[in-house]
Amino acid sequence: MIQVLDQITIDKIAAGEVVERPASVIKELVENAIDAGASSITVEIEDGGISLMRITDNGCGIAKEDVPNAFLRHSTSKIRSIDDLEHIASLGFRGEALSSISAVAQVELITKTKDDTFGTRYVIHGGVEQSVEETGAPNGTTFLIHQLFYNTPARRKFLKTPMTEAGHIGDLLMHMALSHPEIAFQFVNNHQEKLRTSGNGKLKDVIYQIYGREVASNLLELDFDMRGVKMSGFLGKPIISRGNRNFENFFFNGRYIRSNIVSKAAEDAYKDFVMQHKFPFFVLHYSLPAEEMDVNVHPTKMEVRFHNQQDVYNTTYEAIHRCLLEPELISKIEAPDVPVTKPSAPQTVPEKKESIFSLKKPPAEAPATKDEDYFIEQMMQRVLREHQTYKVEHEVQMPALPASSPLPKDEFIYEKAEQLDLFEEKLLTREARMEYTLIGQLFDTYWLVQFKDSLYIIDQHAAHERVLYERTLKGMKDRTFTSQNISPPIVLNLSMTEENVLKDHLDRFTRIGFEIEPFGSGSYAVRAIPDNLFSIAKQELLLEMLDEMADGIGGNLTPDLIDEKVASMSCKAAVKGNNKLSAAEMDTLIGELLELENPYHCPHGRPTIIAMTKRELEKKFKRIV
């Protein structure tokens, strides 16, 4: 017999689509707070959010008469008709969140609008209203969620440990903070603060608070606009690449999403700069018309469908690749400070230009701003520790800081000290070629070069790979190549996919000196190859290249990307390590590096050059401290 389910059962089933774990609840309510115009959001949890979640914001609040309706299924203030789905600007819009949450938890809501004298306290357990009353409250909204899944024990049983659930909430709020640097976020787990951001609107400050100083000091700023897609944010330099994709952060119109297309484009753009099996760090914000993407793909709104995914891919790739080509990315070796013997008499404090923070008395007419107050609060103890550490390590007389811990906020502010730039002079310029000294070869692999006050170490294999790669690309663009016949020819037996790739891009192979012709059903004969590949031309190499080309977005790569994949074959012909080169050959190789767009990494991301300054050598030998 077929029966119609009651509303409570329907709501519990529907809740399964929206509420998977405590982090799902936090996501929905924080998104609602953002949509309500909040500039400050605090999330507090206990036991991983299973026993208690409290979400407080200073947004517009909910009018008393609207409170009960807010918990009805499909009630929303964000859309009015199906046409509105094409122009969604808010983070939440389905009207399922509060209904789903209240169906599987004990919920208490306290809210007040700025126009109301009193707030409203509303209690609902398992989808059943318990009470509604007036109460004193500040402007904004507070949700208290008690005992998640208390009435669905099967669901509660499948939750992970409180530590794991708290970790999911922490990751979620990290992304929320990165997506909205203009909002001050605070996250408290079991009465311990885990995250705090200032809400000053500066994305780099949020990155610093979440990832630390090493990451924040190795960023490249990006601002790009093409094909109707606007991008801004920060790219990590190759030195801070990671072993997984957890550090890839991208946001579309303020919404954190996961997208294979964007990840693929970014990783392709980084391919020349990071090692294989390493993944880049980046925080990228995209802005594009709402009608160009569909966020109504999944109830969690973590996935998105683009109306023109190829434009998104191409723009992402080009923006990142251009940004990475601009700076000089020579890795720098830094020697750690070493202890010195105790001096017989007190010394004065040497100038320390490398220190990150200095203290400075503010003028009376310049009171600390909210931003300064925040960083004072965060960095106060750290400055005191650095002050004491420097005094102990160097065993010198230090002037006492004019305050005890903690420092009074209104007495001091922080300012950035000038960083000591050790690499103002660049080796790889035409002007430098007449001034560097080629010292010699080390281990038949590395070349030592002195220029100005720095020692440069060049990996001959990585450098030669980059030269051959760029030379092949240039030959493809300028149609300057020479071919060499091979006999007998290399016969390729191709699958349908491989054959389609070869047919689609045969002109690319022809442009650099390949001669390839049909040789029966599914077979092709390679009768000539570019001369720089003659010594390494093998069937496996050509098949590997076809597989890489077929690995694009639906096989639909841009012409430039196809050229790069074809040119990457030339790297196989590079001189290997443990091969002795003459000084003249190495000088020629350095000269060719000077002409390249990106001389600092081989096409696979390995560095071609590392550098060490005279000052760092002197620190190693304890000539200076």
| Each residue's pLDDT tens digit, 3-14 | 665 666 666 555
Averaged pLDDT for residues 98-111: 93
Averaged pLDDT for residues 205-228: 89
Residues 369 and 442 in one domain: no
**CATH number for 453:** 3.30.1540.20
Q: Is 391 helix (H, G, I), strand (E, B) or coil?
A: helix
pLDDT for the residue numbered 531: 74
Residues of the chain by 3-state class (helix, strand, coil), percent to 5:
40, 25, 40
Averaged pLDDT for residues 572-594: 75
**CATH number for 164:** 3.30.565.10
Inter-CA distances, 357 with 349, 380, 384, Å: 16, 10, 11
Place of tokens 């000053």: 200
Task: Indicate the DSSP class of residue 246.
Answer: G
95-104, 236-245, 355-364: least confidently modelled range = 355-364
pLDDT for the residue numbered 12: 56
| Edge-first strand listing for the sheet containing 437-442 | 331-332, 609-613, 454-459, 446-451, 437-442
Q: With beta carbons less than 8 A apart as the criterion, state whether 42 and 195 touch.
A: no
Q: Is residue 354 very low, low, confident or very high in pLDDT (cuts 50, 70, 90)?
A: very low
In the chain, the N- to C-terminal Cα span, in Å, equals 87
Residues 305 and 386 in one domain: no
What does the pLDDT look like over 451-461, one tens digit per residue? 888 888 888 88
Asked whether residue 347 carries a pLDDT value surpassing 50, the answer given is no
**Average pLDDT, rounded, for the chain:** 76
Burial 50-69 (b: 16+ CB within 10 A, else e): bebbbbbbbbbbbebeebee
As a whole number of angstroms, the distance between CA 580 and CA 422 comes to: 32
Q: Is residue 223 part of a domain?
A: yes
Q: With beta carbons less than 8 A apart as the criterion, state whether 457 and 610 touch.
A: yes
What does the block give as tokens for 267?
């990783």
Residues 429 and 411 in one domain: no
What does the block give as tokens for 330?
């020579």
What does the block give as tokens for 317?
């790739």
What does the block give as tokens for 180?
């909205």
Residues 176 and 208 in one domain: no
Residues 502 and 613 in one domain: yes
Q: Is residue 1 part of a domain?
A: no
Averaged pLDDT for residues 432-453: 80
Higher pLDDT, 398 or 150: 150
Parallel, antiparallel, or unpaired for β 293-294 and 305-306?
antiparallel
What does the pLDDT look like over 133-142, one tens digit per residue? 999 999 999 9
pLDDT for the residue numbered 595: 75
φ, ψ of residue 541 to 5 degrees: the values are -65, -45
Asked whether residue 148 carries a pLDDT value surpassing 90, the answer given is yes
Residues 408 and 470 in one domain: no
What does the pLDDT look like over 163-215, one tens digit per residue? 889 989 999 999 999 999 999 999 999 998 989 999 999 999 999 988 888 88
Q: Is residue 220 part of a domain?
A: yes
Q: Is residue 405 very low, low, confident or very high in pLDDT (cuts 50, 70, 90)?
A: very low
Inter-CA distances, 113 with 63, 97, 135, 136, Å: 6, 21, 12, 12
Residues 405 and 459 in one domain: no
Higher pLDDT, 303 or 469: 469
Q: Is residue 527 very low, low, confident or very high in pLDDT (cuts 50, 70, 90)?
A: very high
Averaged pLDDT for residues 575-580: 66
Q: Is residue 104 part of a domain?
A: yes
pLDDT for the residue numbered 50: 95
Q: How far is CA 104 from the centre of its chain?
A: 35
Q: How many domains would you assign to the chain? A: 4
Instruction: Kindly report the pTM of this predicted structure.
Output: 0.62
The single-letter code of the amino acid at 144 is: L
Strands (E), 118-158: 119-125, 128-135, 140-146
Q: Is residue 515 part of a domain?
A: yes
Q: Is residue 378 very low, low, confident or very high in pLDDT (cuts 50, 70, 90)?
A: very low
**CATH number for 268:** 3.30.230.10
What does the block give as tokens for 624?
């200076």
Residues 319 and 372 in one domain: no
Please list, in sequence order, all residues whose beta carbon lies within 8 angstroms of the beta carbon of residue 9, skipping any fewer than 6 positions away: none
What does the pLDDT look like over 306-332, one tens digit per residue? 888 888 999 999 999 999 987 766 666
The single-letter code of the amino acid at 264 is: K
As a whole number of angstroms, the distance between CA 9 and CA 29 comes to: 23
Q: Is residue 479 very low, low, confident or very high in pLDDT (cuts 50, 70, 90)?
A: low
Q: With beta carbons less than 8 A apart as the criterion, state whether 212 and 138 touch.
A: no
Range of the domain at 266: 203-327
Q: Is residue 351 part of a domain?
A: no
Residues 461 and 548 in one domain: yes
Compute how many other C-beta atoms are within 10 angstroms of the C-beta atom of residue 520. Answer: 9
As a whole number of angstroms, the distance between CA 352 and CA 362 comes to: 21
Residues 406 and 453 in one domain: no
What does the block give as tokens for 405?
């811990």
Place of tokens 């209690």: 123
Q: Is residue 344 part of a domain?
A: no
Domain boundary pick from 146, 164, 195: 195
Residues 191 and 308 in one domain: no
Task: Indicate the DSSP class of residue 87.
Answer: G
pLDDT for the residue numbered 9: 63
Residues 250 and 144 in one domain: no
Asked whether residue 17 carries a pLDDT value surpassing 90, the answer given is no
Q: With beta carbons less than 8 A apart as the criterion, state whether 389 and 446 touch.
A: no
Cis peptide before 488 (omega within 30 of 0): yes
φ, ψ of residue 269 to 5 degrees: the values are -65, -30
The proportion of the chain whose per-residue pLDDT surpasses 70, expressed as a percent, equals 67
pLDDT for the residue numbered 309: 86
Domain boundary pick from 195, 230, 250: 195
Domain boundary pick from 163, 195, 227: 195
pLDDT for the residue numbered 292: 82
Asked whether residue 437 carries a pLDDT value surpassing 50, the answer given is yes
Q: With beta carbons less than 8 A apart as the criterion, state whether 589 and 464 touch.
A: yes
| Edge-first strand listing for the sheet containing 255-256 | 219-226, 229-236, 282-287, 248-252, 255-256
As a whole number of angstroms, the distance between CA 173 and CA 121 comes to: 26
What does the pLDDT look like over 274-313, one tens digit per residue? 877 788 999 999 998 888 887 655 555 566 778 888 889 9
Q: Is 210 helix (H, G, I), strand (E, B) or coil?
A: helix
Q: With beta carbons less than 8 A apart as the criterion, state whether 152 and 21 touch.
A: no
Q: Is residue 332 part of a domain?
A: no
As a whole number of angstroms, the distance between CA 536 and CA 61 comes to: 70
Handedness of CA 285, 290, 293, 297 (dihedral sign): positive
